[in-house]
Structure 1
Amino acid sequence: MKINIYKTSILFLIIQSLLIVLLLNNNYMKRFSFFQSSNSNFVDMAFGLLILVLNLIALVVVRYLYISGLEAERLKLTSLKHAHMVEQTRIYRQHHHDLKNHLTVVMGLLKLGKYPELNDYLESYLDTVNDALLKIETGLDEIDVLLSSKIQLAKNKDIRVELKNVASLRSSKKHVLDLVTILGNVLNNALEAVEDFDSPMRKVCISIQRDPLEYIFEISNPMLLSNISDADYFREGFSTKQEGRGQGLFIVKRLTERLDGNVSINCSDGIFKVTIEIPRHRLEEE
Protein backbone atom coordinates (compact mmCIF):
# COMPACT_ATOMS: atom_id res chain seq x y z
CA MET A 1 0.00 0.00 0.00
CA LYS A 2 2.81 2.41 0.85
CA ILE A 3 4.53 1.82 -2.47
CA ASN A 4 1.28 2.60 -4.30
CA ILE A 5 0.65 5.80 -2.35
CA TYR A 6 4.20 6.99 -2.96
CA LYS A 7 3.86 6.33 -6.70
CA THR A 8 0.49 8.08 -6.70
CA SER A 9 1.87 11.14 -4.93
CA ILE A 10 4.76 11.36 -7.40
CA LEU A 11 2.32 11.07 -10.31
CA PHE A 12 0.16 13.86 -8.89
CA LEU A 13 3.24 16.05 -8.43
CA ILE A 14 4.33 15.51 -12.05
CA ILE A 15 0.85 16.25 -13.43
CA GLN A 16 0.50 19.30 -11.21
CA SER A 17 3.88 20.63 -12.33
CA LEU A 18 2.99 20.11 -16.00
CA LEU A 19 -0.33 21.93 -15.58
CA ILE A 20 1.36 24.85 -13.84
CA VAL A 21 3.91 25.07 -16.67
CA LEU A 22 1.14 24.97 -19.27
CA LEU A 23 -0.86 27.62 -17.44
CA LEU A 24 2.12 29.95 -17.08
CA ASN A 25 3.12 29.35 -20.69
CA ASN A 26 -0.43 30.05 -21.87
CA ASN A 27 -0.55 33.30 -19.90
CA TYR A 28 2.79 34.33 -21.36
CA MET A 29 1.64 33.60 -24.93
CA LYS A 30 -1.63 35.44 -24.32
CA ARG A 31 0.34 38.67 -23.95
CA PHE A 32 1.52 38.27 -27.55
CA SER A 33 -1.63 36.59 -28.87
CA PHE A 34 0.29 33.42 -29.81
CA PHE A 35 -1.68 30.18 -30.29
CA GLN A 36 -4.75 31.59 -28.53
CA SER A 37 -8.20 30.16 -29.16
CA SER A 38 -11.52 31.85 -28.62
CA ASN A 39 -11.92 29.78 -25.45
CA SER A 40 -8.60 30.75 -23.85
CA ASN A 41 -10.30 32.03 -20.70
CA PHE A 42 -12.11 28.71 -20.32
CA VAL A 43 -8.80 26.86 -20.73
CA ASP A 44 -7.19 29.02 -18.03
CA MET A 45 -10.10 28.32 -15.70
CA ALA A 46 -9.92 24.58 -16.39
CA PHE A 47 -6.18 24.51 -15.69
CA GLY A 48 -6.72 26.50 -12.49
CA LEU A 49 -9.44 24.17 -11.26
CA LEU A 50 -7.34 21.09 -12.02
CA ILE A 51 -4.39 22.56 -10.15
CA LEU A 52 -6.66 23.38 -7.18
CA VAL A 53 -8.04 19.83 -7.13
CA LEU A 54 -4.54 18.35 -7.33
CA ASN A 55 -3.42 20.58 -4.44
CA LEU A 56 -6.31 19.32 -2.32
CA ILE A 57 -5.47 15.73 -3.23
CA ALA A 58 -1.81 16.42 -2.40
CA LEU A 59 -2.84 17.61 1.09
CA VAL A 60 -4.76 14.37 1.63
CA VAL A 61 -1.78 12.31 0.43
CA VAL A 62 0.67 14.21 2.65
CA ARG A 63 -1.61 13.69 5.65
CA TYR A 64 -1.85 9.99 4.88
CA LEU A 65 1.92 9.66 4.56
CA TYR A 66 2.43 11.53 7.85
CA ILE A 67 -0.02 9.27 9.70
CA SER A 68 1.55 6.20 8.08
CA GLY A 69 5.00 7.33 9.22
CA LEU A 70 3.78 7.75 12.81
CA GLU A 71 2.12 4.34 12.69
CA ALA A 72 5.27 2.71 11.29
CA GLU A 73 7.35 4.21 14.09
CA ARG A 74 4.83 3.09 16.70
CA LEU A 75 4.87 -0.46 15.31
CA LYS A 76 8.67 -0.46 15.31
CA LEU A 77 8.78 0.58 18.98
CA THR A 78 6.08 -1.94 19.87
CA SER A 79 8.07 -4.68 18.14
CA LEU A 80 11.18 -3.81 20.15
CA LYS A 81 9.24 -3.78 23.42
CA HIS A 82 7.61 -7.11 22.53
CA ALA A 83 11.03 -8.63 21.79
CA HIS A 84 12.28 -7.65 25.26
CA MET A 85 9.11 -8.99 26.90
CA VAL A 86 9.55 -12.30 25.05
CA GLU A 87 13.14 -12.47 26.26
CA GLN A 88 12.06 -11.90 29.87
CA THR A 89 9.40 -14.60 29.57
CA ARG A 90 11.96 -17.01 28.10
CA ILE A 91 14.30 -16.43 31.05
CA TYR A 92 11.55 -17.11 33.61
CA ARG A 93 10.52 -20.29 31.78
CA GLN A 94 14.12 -21.47 31.48
CA HIS A 95 14.73 -21.02 35.21
CA HIS A 96 11.48 -22.85 35.99
CA HIS A 97 12.41 -25.72 33.66
CA ASP A 98 15.96 -25.99 35.03
CA LEU A 99 14.72 -25.97 38.63
CA LYS A 100 12.24 -28.76 37.85
CA ASN A 101 15.02 -30.89 36.34
CA HIS A 102 17.29 -30.34 39.35
CA LEU A 103 14.51 -31.23 41.81
CA THR A 104 13.87 -34.43 39.85
CA VAL A 105 17.53 -35.43 40.21
CA VAL A 106 17.50 -34.56 43.92
CA MET A 107 14.37 -36.65 44.49
CA GLY A 108 15.92 -39.57 42.62
CA LEU A 109 19.10 -39.49 44.70
CA LEU A 110 17.03 -39.27 47.90
CA LYS A 111 14.95 -42.31 46.96
CA LEU A 112 18.10 -44.29 46.16
CA GLY A 113 19.66 -43.24 49.45
CA LYS A 114 22.77 -41.89 47.73
CA TYR A 115 23.40 -39.12 50.23
CA PRO A 116 27.09 -38.47 49.44
CA GLU A 117 26.22 -38.10 45.74
CA LEU A 118 23.26 -35.87 46.70
CA ASN A 119 25.53 -33.66 48.79
CA ASP A 120 28.04 -33.35 45.93
CA TYR A 121 25.24 -32.60 43.46
CA LEU A 122 23.73 -29.86 45.63
CA GLU A 123 27.12 -28.26 46.24
CA SER A 124 27.84 -28.29 42.52
CA TYR A 125 24.39 -26.84 41.77
CA LEU A 126 24.79 -24.04 44.32
CA ASP A 127 28.22 -23.17 42.92
CA THR A 128 26.70 -22.99 39.45
CA VAL A 129 23.85 -20.77 40.65
CA ASN A 130 26.19 -18.42 42.49
CA ASP A 131 28.41 -18.16 39.43
CA ALA A 132 25.63 -17.74 36.89
CA LEU A 133 23.24 -15.45 38.74
CA LEU A 134 24.16 -11.97 39.79
CA LYS A 135 22.00 -10.35 42.43
CA ILE A 136 20.71 -7.20 40.79
CA GLU A 137 18.31 -5.02 42.71
CA THR A 138 17.47 -1.81 40.90
CA GLY A 139 13.97 -1.57 42.33
CA LEU A 140 12.39 -2.49 38.99
CA ASP A 141 11.86 -6.20 38.26
CA GLU A 142 11.82 -5.58 34.51
CA ILE A 143 15.26 -3.93 34.60
CA ASP A 144 16.61 -6.62 36.95
CA VAL A 145 15.57 -9.32 34.47
CA LEU A 146 16.97 -7.36 31.52
CA LEU A 147 20.37 -6.82 33.16
CA SER A 148 20.55 -10.42 34.38
CA SER A 149 19.80 -11.77 30.91
CA LYS A 150 22.34 -9.50 29.21
CA ILE A 151 25.02 -10.33 31.77
CA GLN A 152 24.36 -14.05 31.34
CA LEU A 153 24.50 -13.62 27.55
CA ALA A 154 27.82 -11.81 27.93
CA LYS A 155 29.22 -14.63 30.09
CA ASN A 156 28.23 -17.16 27.45
CA LYS A 157 30.22 -15.12 24.92
CA ASP A 158 33.18 -14.72 27.30
CA ILE A 159 32.53 -10.99 27.70
CA ARG A 160 33.18 -9.42 31.10
CA VAL A 161 30.49 -7.12 32.47
CA GLU A 162 31.21 -4.63 35.23
CA LEU A 163 28.10 -3.37 37.02
CA LYS A 164 28.62 -0.45 39.39
CA ASN A 165 26.80 2.36 41.16
CA VAL A 166 23.47 0.58 40.92
CA ALA A 167 21.01 3.17 42.21
CA SER A 168 17.45 2.38 43.17
CA LEU A 169 15.03 3.12 40.33
CA ARG A 170 11.37 4.01 40.24
CA SER A 171 9.19 4.08 37.16
CA SER A 172 5.51 4.08 36.33
CA LYS A 173 4.15 1.10 34.43
CA LYS A 174 3.53 3.20 31.34
CA HIS A 175 7.22 4.17 31.08
CA VAL A 176 9.04 1.04 32.29
CA LEU A 177 8.85 -0.68 28.88
CA ASP A 178 10.34 2.43 27.28
CA LEU A 179 13.23 2.21 29.75
CA VAL A 180 13.68 -1.51 29.02
CA THR A 181 13.80 -0.74 25.29
CA ILE A 182 16.31 2.09 25.77
CA LEU A 183 18.73 0.11 27.93
CA GLY A 184 18.22 -3.11 25.97
CA ASN A 185 19.23 -1.49 22.69
CA VAL A 186 22.32 0.20 24.14
CA LEU A 187 23.43 -3.04 25.81
CA ASN A 188 22.88 -5.00 22.59
CA ASN A 189 25.06 -2.51 20.72
CA ALA A 190 27.79 -2.71 23.37
CA LEU A 191 27.87 -6.52 23.40
CA GLU A 192 27.92 -6.69 19.60
CA ALA A 193 30.73 -4.13 19.47
CA VAL A 194 33.14 -6.19 21.61
CA GLU A 195 32.27 -9.77 20.69
CA ASP A 196 34.87 -9.85 17.89
CA PHE A 197 37.66 -8.31 20.01
CA ASP A 198 40.49 -10.16 21.74
CA SER A 199 39.98 -11.12 25.38
CA PRO A 200 41.41 -7.97 27.08
CA MET A 201 38.95 -5.76 25.16
CA ARG A 202 35.89 -7.95 25.64
CA LYS A 203 34.41 -5.84 28.40
CA VAL A 204 31.26 -3.76 28.97
CA CYS A 205 30.73 -1.38 31.90
CA ILE A 206 27.27 -0.46 33.19
CA SER A 207 26.59 2.34 35.65
CA ILE A 208 23.21 3.38 37.07
CA GLN A 209 23.14 6.54 39.14
CA ARG A 210 20.65 9.14 40.27
CA ASP A 211 20.79 12.66 41.57
CA PRO A 212 17.96 14.81 42.96
CA LEU A 213 16.73 15.55 39.43
CA GLU A 214 17.75 12.76 37.04
CA TYR A 215 18.48 9.09 36.54
CA ILE A 216 21.82 8.67 34.79
CA PHE A 217 22.68 5.50 32.86
CA GLU A 218 26.16 4.96 31.40
CA ILE A 219 27.16 2.03 29.20
CA SER A 220 30.73 1.92 27.88
CA ASN A 221 32.87 -0.50 25.90
CA PRO A 222 36.27 -0.50 24.13
CA MET A 223 36.26 0.60 20.52
CA LEU A 224 38.59 0.86 17.56
CA LEU A 225 39.56 4.30 16.34
CA SER A 226 37.24 5.71 13.67
CA ASN A 227 36.29 8.95 11.96
CA ILE A 228 32.57 8.56 12.64
CA SER A 229 30.96 11.67 14.10
CA ASP A 230 28.65 11.51 17.12
CA ALA A 231 25.71 12.71 15.01
CA ASP A 232 26.14 9.75 12.62
CA TYR A 233 25.47 7.25 15.41
CA PHE A 234 21.99 8.71 15.92
CA ARG A 235 21.10 8.80 12.23
CA GLU A 236 18.28 6.44 11.23
CA GLY A 237 19.62 3.38 9.44
CA PHE A 238 23.27 4.06 10.38
CA SER A 239 25.29 0.99 11.33
CA THR A 240 28.95 0.15 11.75
CA LYS A 241 28.00 -3.45 10.96
CA GLN A 242 26.39 -5.22 8.05
CA GLU A 243 22.83 -6.57 7.83
CA GLY A 244 21.11 -3.22 8.38
CA ARG A 245 21.19 -3.23 12.17
CA GLY A 246 21.47 0.54 12.44
CA GLN A 247 18.28 1.32 14.35
CA GLY A 248 19.48 0.96 17.96
CA LEU A 249 20.70 4.44 18.92
CA PHE A 250 18.17 6.16 16.68
CA ILE A 251 15.38 4.46 18.64
CA VAL A 252 17.18 5.18 21.94
CA LYS A 253 17.40 8.88 21.15
CA ARG A 254 13.76 9.06 20.05
CA LEU A 255 12.45 7.30 23.17
CA THR A 256 14.69 9.24 25.55
CA GLU A 257 13.64 12.58 24.09
CA ARG A 258 10.03 11.50 24.45
CA LEU A 259 10.75 11.30 28.19
CA ASP A 260 12.34 14.79 28.08
CA GLY A 261 15.74 13.15 28.50
CA ASN A 262 19.06 13.42 26.72
CA VAL A 263 21.47 10.96 25.09
CA SER A 264 25.13 11.79 24.56
CA ILE A 265 28.12 9.91 23.19
CA ASN A 266 31.74 10.28 24.20
CA CYS A 267 34.53 8.59 22.23
CA SER A 268 37.92 9.09 23.84
CA ASP A 269 40.93 6.99 24.86
CA GLY A 270 39.57 4.02 22.92
CA ILE A 271 36.31 3.93 24.94
CA PHE A 272 32.83 4.36 23.50
CA LYS A 273 30.44 5.63 26.18
CA VAL A 274 26.71 6.28 25.92
CA THR A 275 25.19 8.46 28.65
CA ILE A 276 21.42 8.58 29.08
CA GLU A 277 19.88 11.18 31.37
CA ILE A 278 16.16 11.01 32.14
CA PRO A 279 14.33 13.37 34.53
CA ARG A 280 13.11 11.43 37.56
CA HIS A 281 9.70 13.10 37.62
CA ARG A 282 9.03 12.06 33.99
CA LEU A 283 9.97 8.43 34.54
CA GLU A 284 8.04 8.19 37.80
CA GLU A 285 4.87 10.03 36.81
CA GLU A 286 1.72 7.93 36.65
Structure 2
Amino acid sequence: MKKNIIKIHKNHKIAISCYTMQILFTTLLFVNNCFERFNFFQTKNSEYFECVIAIIIFVINIGSVFVIKCLCDARKEEEEMKLNLLKYQHIEEENRIYLRHRHDMKNHLLIIFKLIQEKEYDRLEEYLLLYQKNIANSIIHIETGMKELDILFYSKVNKARENDIQVEMKCSSRIHCSKQAVLDLISILSNILDNALDACKTVEADKEKSIKICMEENAIDYRFIVSNTFSDKMKVDKDKIFEVGFSTKGIKRGEGLYIVKKKVEKYEGNILVNINNHYFEIVIEIPKYALVGKYEKYRKVN
Protein backbone atom coordinates (compact mmCIF):
# COMPACT_ATOMS: atom_id res chain seq x y z
CA MET A 1 0.00 0.00 0.00
CA LYS A 2 2.91 2.35 0.79
CA LYS A 3 4.35 1.81 -2.71
CA ASN A 4 0.93 2.55 -4.20
CA ILE A 5 0.67 5.84 -2.26
CA ILE A 6 4.15 6.86 -3.49
CA LYS A 7 3.04 6.02 -7.04
CA ILE A 8 -0.07 8.19 -6.66
CA HIS A 9 1.98 11.13 -5.35
CA LYS A 10 4.43 10.75 -8.25
CA ASN A 11 1.59 10.74 -10.78
CA HIS A 12 0.09 13.82 -9.10
CA LYS A 13 3.37 15.69 -9.60
CA ILE A 14 3.51 14.61 -13.26
CA ALA A 15 -0.11 15.72 -13.77
CA ILE A 16 0.58 19.13 -12.21
CA SER A 17 3.67 19.54 -14.42
CA CYS A 18 1.67 18.62 -17.54
CA TYR A 19 -1.10 21.10 -16.76
CA THR A 20 1.43 23.84 -15.93
CA MET A 21 3.18 23.33 -19.27
CA GLN A 22 -0.18 23.16 -21.04
CA ILE A 23 -1.25 26.50 -19.56
CA LEU A 24 2.15 28.03 -20.35
CA PHE A 25 2.17 27.00 -24.02
CA THR A 26 -1.53 27.84 -24.49
CA THR A 27 -0.88 31.31 -23.08
CA LEU A 28 2.13 31.67 -25.37
CA LEU A 29 0.05 30.69 -28.40
CA PHE A 30 -2.74 33.10 -27.41
CA VAL A 31 -0.30 36.00 -26.91
CA ASN A 32 1.36 35.23 -30.23
CA ASN A 33 -2.01 35.32 -32.02
CA CYS A 34 -2.81 38.67 -30.38
CA PHE A 35 0.54 40.12 -31.47
CA GLU A 36 0.03 38.74 -34.95
CA ARG A 37 -3.13 40.81 -35.35
CA PHE A 38 -1.10 43.99 -34.69
CA ASN A 39 2.08 42.67 -36.35
CA PHE A 40 4.09 42.91 -33.10
CA PHE A 41 7.21 40.80 -32.52
CA GLN A 42 6.48 38.60 -35.51
CA THR A 43 9.15 36.49 -37.19
CA LYS A 44 9.23 35.37 -40.80
CA ASN A 45 8.34 31.83 -39.73
CA SER A 46 5.50 32.73 -37.36
CA GLU A 47 3.21 30.10 -38.86
CA TYR A 48 5.87 27.45 -38.27
CA PHE A 49 6.22 28.69 -34.69
CA GLU A 50 2.45 28.40 -34.11
CA CYS A 51 2.43 24.89 -35.58
CA VAL A 52 5.20 23.77 -33.23
CA ILE A 53 3.40 25.22 -30.19
CA ALA A 54 0.13 23.53 -31.25
CA ILE A 55 1.90 20.17 -31.62
CA ILE A 56 3.49 20.54 -28.18
CA ILE A 57 0.08 21.35 -26.63
CA PHE A 58 -1.46 18.34 -28.38
CA VAL A 59 1.30 16.02 -27.07
CA ILE A 60 0.87 17.38 -23.54
CA ASN A 61 -2.89 16.74 -23.77
CA ILE A 62 -2.30 13.13 -24.83
CA GLY A 63 0.18 12.72 -21.97
CA SER A 64 -2.33 14.19 -19.54
CA VAL A 65 -4.92 11.59 -20.56
CA PHE A 66 -2.49 8.77 -19.77
CA VAL A 67 -1.49 10.36 -16.46
CA ILE A 68 -5.15 10.74 -15.42
CA LYS A 69 -5.76 7.09 -16.36
CA CYS A 70 -2.78 6.04 -14.22
CA LEU A 71 -4.13 8.10 -11.32
CA CYS A 72 -7.57 6.48 -11.61
CA ASP A 73 -6.08 2.99 -11.81
CA ALA A 74 -3.84 3.65 -8.80
CA ARG A 75 -6.78 5.02 -6.80
CA LYS A 76 -8.90 1.97 -7.60
CA GLU A 77 -6.01 -0.30 -6.63
CA GLU A 78 -5.60 1.56 -3.35
CA GLU A 79 -9.30 1.21 -2.52
CA GLU A 80 -9.18 -2.49 -3.36
CA MET A 81 -6.15 -2.94 -1.11
CA LYS A 82 -7.94 -1.18 1.75
CA LEU A 83 -10.96 -3.45 1.36
CA ASN A 84 -8.77 -6.55 1.27
CA LEU A 85 -6.86 -5.35 4.34
CA LEU A 86 -10.11 -5.02 6.29
CA LYS A 87 -11.16 -8.47 5.12
CA TYR A 88 -7.87 -10.02 6.20
CA GLN A 89 -8.04 -8.27 9.56
CA HIS A 90 -11.46 -9.78 10.15
CA ILE A 91 -10.28 -13.24 9.08
CA GLU A 92 -7.36 -12.91 11.47
CA GLU A 93 -9.70 -11.92 14.29
CA GLU A 94 -12.06 -14.82 13.56
CA ASN A 95 -9.09 -17.20 13.47
CA ARG A 96 -7.86 -15.88 16.82
CA ILE A 97 -11.31 -16.47 18.35
CA TYR A 98 -11.44 -19.97 16.86
CA LEU A 99 -7.99 -20.85 18.25
CA ARG A 100 -8.99 -19.52 21.66
CA HIS A 101 -12.09 -21.73 21.73
CA ARG A 102 -10.05 -24.68 20.49
CA HIS A 103 -7.53 -24.12 23.27
CA ASP A 104 -10.34 -23.95 25.84
CA MET A 105 -12.06 -27.04 24.44
CA LYS A 106 -9.96 -29.43 26.55
CA ASN A 107 -11.04 -27.69 29.76
CA HIS A 108 -14.67 -27.66 28.65
CA LEU A 109 -14.57 -31.39 27.87
CA LEU A 110 -13.14 -32.13 31.30
CA ILE A 111 -15.96 -30.20 32.96
CA ILE A 112 -18.59 -31.91 30.76
CA PHE A 113 -17.10 -35.34 31.52
CA LYS A 114 -17.08 -34.58 35.25
CA LEU A 115 -20.73 -33.46 35.21
CA ILE A 116 -21.71 -36.64 33.34
CA GLN A 117 -19.84 -38.79 35.87
CA GLU A 118 -21.69 -37.11 38.72
CA LYS A 119 -24.98 -37.37 36.79
CA GLU A 120 -25.54 -33.61 37.12
CA TYR A 121 -27.59 -33.47 33.95
CA ASP A 122 -29.40 -30.21 34.76
CA ARG A 123 -26.13 -28.44 35.41
CA LEU A 124 -24.69 -30.04 32.28
CA GLU A 125 -27.54 -28.70 30.15
CA GLU A 126 -27.15 -25.26 31.68
CA TYR A 127 -23.40 -25.33 31.07
CA LEU A 128 -23.78 -26.40 27.42
CA LEU A 129 -26.37 -23.71 26.73
CA LEU A 130 -24.09 -21.09 28.26
CA TYR A 131 -21.14 -22.32 26.19
CA GLN A 132 -23.23 -22.33 22.99
CA LYS A 133 -24.37 -18.76 23.69
CA ASN A 134 -20.79 -17.70 24.30
CA ILE A 135 -19.67 -19.09 20.92
CA ALA A 136 -22.63 -17.48 19.13
CA ASN A 137 -21.75 -14.09 20.61
CA SER A 138 -18.07 -14.45 19.69
CA ILE A 139 -18.46 -15.39 16.02
CA ILE A 140 -20.74 -13.42 13.76
CA HIS A 141 -21.53 -14.26 10.13
CA ILE A 142 -22.28 -11.39 7.78
CA GLU A 143 -23.56 -11.89 4.24
CA THR A 144 -25.17 -8.81 2.69
CA GLY A 145 -24.49 -9.64 -0.95
CA MET A 146 -21.92 -6.83 -1.21
CA LYS A 147 -18.27 -7.40 -0.29
CA GLU A 148 -17.81 -3.73 0.59
CA LEU A 149 -20.73 -3.80 3.04
CA ASP A 150 -19.56 -7.08 4.58
CA ILE A 151 -16.14 -5.59 5.28
CA LEU A 152 -17.66 -2.40 6.72
CA PHE A 153 -19.84 -4.38 9.13
CA TYR A 154 -16.97 -6.71 10.06
CA SER A 155 -14.77 -3.75 11.03
CA LYS A 156 -17.52 -1.98 13.01
CA VAL A 157 -18.52 -5.19 14.84
CA ASN A 158 -14.90 -5.79 15.84
CA LYS A 159 -14.59 -2.21 17.04
CA ALA A 160 -17.76 -2.62 19.11
CA ARG A 161 -16.39 -5.80 20.70
CA GLU A 162 -13.20 -3.99 21.65
CA ASN A 163 -15.36 -1.52 23.61
CA ASP A 164 -17.54 -4.23 25.26
CA ILE A 165 -20.57 -3.29 23.15
CA GLN A 166 -23.02 -6.07 22.27
CA VAL A 167 -23.99 -6.27 18.61
CA GLU A 168 -27.12 -7.94 17.28
CA MET A 169 -27.34 -8.18 13.52
CA LYS A 170 -30.09 -9.37 11.20
CA CYS A 171 -29.86 -9.40 7.41
CA SER A 172 -32.92 -10.77 5.59
CA SER A 173 -32.04 -9.42 2.16
CA ARG A 174 -29.18 -9.30 -0.31
CA ILE A 175 -28.24 -5.81 -1.41
CA HIS A 176 -27.78 -4.98 -5.09
CA CYS A 177 -25.96 -1.73 -5.76
CA SER A 178 -24.28 -0.10 -8.77
CA LYS A 179 -20.59 0.79 -8.61
CA GLN A 180 -21.50 4.47 -8.72
CA ALA A 181 -23.65 4.19 -5.58
CA VAL A 182 -21.39 1.92 -3.50
CA LEU A 183 -19.27 4.71 -2.01
CA ASP A 184 -22.33 6.75 -1.04
CA LEU A 185 -24.00 3.75 0.60
CA ILE A 186 -20.80 2.94 2.52
CA SER A 187 -20.54 6.57 3.61
CA ILE A 188 -24.17 6.61 4.81
CA LEU A 189 -23.93 3.43 6.88
CA SER A 190 -20.42 4.18 8.14
CA ASN A 191 -21.56 7.53 9.55
CA ILE A 192 -24.61 5.96 11.19
CA LEU A 193 -22.57 3.12 12.75
CA ASP A 194 -19.85 5.50 13.95
CA ASN A 195 -22.48 7.62 15.68
CA ALA A 196 -23.96 4.49 17.28
CA LEU A 197 -20.53 3.43 18.57
CA ASP A 198 -19.80 6.91 19.94
CA ALA A 199 -23.18 6.99 21.71
CA CYS A 200 -22.65 3.56 23.28
CA LYS A 201 -19.24 4.59 24.61
CA THR A 202 -20.93 7.29 26.70
CA VAL A 203 -23.34 4.85 28.37
CA GLU A 204 -22.82 4.48 32.10
CA ALA A 205 -20.77 1.44 33.19
CA ASP A 206 -23.69 -0.19 35.02
CA LYS A 207 -26.01 -0.01 31.98
CA GLU A 208 -26.29 -2.02 28.77
CA LYS A 209 -24.21 -1.06 25.76
CA SER A 210 -25.91 -2.43 22.69
CA ILE A 211 -26.22 -1.87 18.94
CA LYS A 212 -28.85 -3.53 16.76
CA ILE A 213 -28.49 -3.64 12.97
CA CYS A 214 -31.24 -4.78 10.64
CA MET A 215 -31.34 -4.90 6.83
CA GLU A 216 -34.53 -5.84 5.05
CA GLU A 217 -36.43 -5.13 1.87
CA ASN A 218 -39.88 -4.92 0.39
CA ALA A 219 -41.01 -4.73 -3.22
CA ILE A 220 -39.81 -1.14 -3.57
CA ASP A 221 -37.22 -0.22 -0.93
CA TYR A 222 -34.16 -1.41 0.93
CA ARG A 223 -34.47 -0.63 4.67
CA PHE A 224 -31.47 -0.13 6.95
CA ILE A 225 -32.26 0.12 10.67
CA VAL A 226 -29.59 0.93 13.25
CA SER A 227 -30.51 1.36 16.92
CA ASN A 228 -28.28 1.88 19.93
CA THR A 229 -28.43 2.62 23.63
CA PHE A 230 -27.26 6.04 24.80
CA SER A 231 -26.46 7.86 28.01
CA ASP A 232 -29.25 9.43 30.04
CA LYS A 233 -27.14 12.59 30.13
CA MET A 234 -27.26 12.91 26.34
CA LYS A 235 -29.92 15.33 25.14
CA VAL A 236 -31.26 14.57 21.67
CA ASP A 237 -33.48 16.98 19.76
CA LYS A 238 -35.17 15.06 16.92
CA ASP A 239 -36.15 18.31 15.18
CA LYS A 240 -32.55 19.58 14.97
CA ILE A 241 -30.55 16.39 14.62
CA PHE A 242 -30.10 16.71 10.84
CA GLU A 243 -29.26 20.42 10.85
CA VAL A 244 -25.79 21.59 9.83
CA GLY A 245 -23.42 21.59 12.78
CA PHE A 246 -25.78 19.88 15.23
CA SER A 247 -23.94 17.42 17.47
CA THR A 248 -24.02 15.88 20.92
CA LYS A 249 -20.28 15.20 20.61
CA GLY A 250 -18.83 18.70 20.71
CA ILE A 251 -18.03 21.69 18.51
CA LYS A 252 -17.39 21.11 14.78
CA ARG A 253 -18.35 17.41 14.95
CA GLY A 254 -21.94 17.63 13.79
CA GLU A 255 -21.63 17.29 10.03
CA GLY A 256 -22.12 13.49 9.87
CA LEU A 257 -25.91 13.18 10.06
CA TYR A 258 -26.43 16.25 7.88
CA ILE A 259 -24.29 14.62 5.17
CA VAL A 260 -26.15 11.33 5.65
CA LYS A 261 -29.50 13.05 5.12
CA LYS A 262 -28.28 14.78 1.95
CA LYS A 263 -26.93 11.53 0.48
CA VAL A 264 -30.12 9.63 1.31
CA GLU A 265 -32.17 12.36 -0.39
CA LYS A 266 -29.82 12.16 -3.39
CA TYR A 267 -31.15 8.63 -3.93
CA GLU A 268 -34.76 9.71 -3.35
CA GLY A 269 -34.81 7.97 0.03
CA ASN A 270 -36.19 8.78 3.48
CA ILE A 271 -34.53 8.89 6.88
CA LEU A 272 -36.46 8.69 10.15
CA VAL A 273 -35.45 8.96 13.82
CA ASN A 274 -37.19 7.21 16.72
CA ILE A 275 -36.38 7.17 20.43
CA ASN A 276 -37.93 4.29 22.37
CA ASN A 277 -37.01 2.55 25.63
CA HIS A 278 -33.58 4.16 25.88
CA TYR A 279 -32.81 3.19 22.27
CA PHE A 280 -31.95 5.74 19.58
CA GLU A 281 -33.10 4.35 16.22
CA ILE A 282 -32.41 5.54 12.67
CA VAL A 283 -34.42 4.05 9.79
CA ILE A 284 -33.18 4.61 6.24
CA GLU A 285 -35.31 3.67 3.22
CA ILE A 286 -33.77 3.85 -0.25
CA PRO A 287 -35.59 2.78 -3.44
CA LYS A 288 -34.01 -0.23 -5.11
CA TYR A 289 -34.04 1.37 -8.55
CA ALA A 290 -32.05 4.33 -7.19
CA LEU A 291 -29.26 2.15 -5.78
CA VAL A 292 -28.92 -0.11 -8.80
CA GLY A 293 -29.25 2.79 -11.22
CA LYS A 294 -32.37 4.19 -12.83
CA TYR A 295 -31.59 2.46 -16.10
CA GLU A 296 -30.31 -0.84 -14.74
CA LYS A 297 -32.37 -3.93 -13.98
CA TYR A 298 -31.82 -5.68 -10.70
CA ARG A 299 -32.40 -9.36 -10.04
CA LYS A 300 -34.16 -10.49 -6.95
CA VAL A 301 -32.46 -13.43 -5.29
CA ASN A 302 -34.87 -15.99 -3.91
TM-score, normalised on structure 2? 0.58
**Aligned counterparts of 2:243 and 2:287: Cα–Cα separation in 1:** 20
Partner of 2:98: 92
Displacement of 1:19 after TM fit? Answer: 0.8
Partner of 1:20: 26
**Aligned counterparts of 1:4 and 1:156: Cα–Cα separation in 2:** 38
2:37 maps to 1:41: no
**Aligned counterparts of 1:83 and 1:276: Cα–Cα separation in 2:** 30
Partner of 1:6: 12
Structure 2 gap ranges (5+):
1-6, 145-149, 177-181, 246-251, 289-296
2:280 maps to 1:271: yes
Deviation string 1:243-276 (CA, Å, 9 cap, x unpaired) is xxx9xx99xx9xxx9xxx9986544659352536
Partner of 2:4: none
**Which stretch shows the higher mean deviation, 43-52 or 32-41?**
32-41
Deviation string 1:202-240 (CA, Å, 9 cap, x unpaired) is 3323335443566644112247658775899xxxxxx95
The equivalences for 1:38-77 within 5 A come to: 38-77=44-83
Contact 1:263 1:277 (C-alpha < 8 Å) held by counterparts: yes
RMSD across aligned C-alpha pairs, in angstroms? Answer: 5.1
The structure-2 alpha-carbon separation of the partners of 1:53 and 1:143, relative to structure 1 and needing over 3 Å to count, comes to: closer
The equivalences for 1:101-250 within 5 A come to: 101-104=107-110, 115=118, 122=124, 125-126=127-128, 128-129=130-131, 132-133=134-135, 141-143=141-143, 157=163, 159=165, 168=172, 190-198=196-204, 202-211=209-218, 216-221=223-228, 222=230, 225=236, 229=242, 240=253
The structure-2 alpha-carbon separation of the partners of 1:189 and 1:74, relative to structure 1 and needing over 3 Å to count, comes to: farther
Identity of aligned residues (%): 28
Displacement of 1:123 after TM fit? Answer: 6.9
**Aligned counterparts of 1:61 and 1:196: Cα–Cα separation in 2:** 47
TM-score, normalised on structure 1? 0.61
Displacement of 1:64 after TM fit? Answer: 1.5
Contact 1:204 1:220 (C-alpha < 8 Å) held by counterparts: yes
- Which secondary structure state, in structure 1, belongs to the residue aligned with residue 41 of structure 2? coil
Displacement of 1:72 after TM fit? Answer: 2.2
Q: Which amino acid aligns with 1:203?
A: S
Q: Which amino acid aligns with 1:207?
A: C
Structure 1 gap ranges (5+):
173-177, 233-238
Q: Which amino acid aligns with 1:18?
A: L
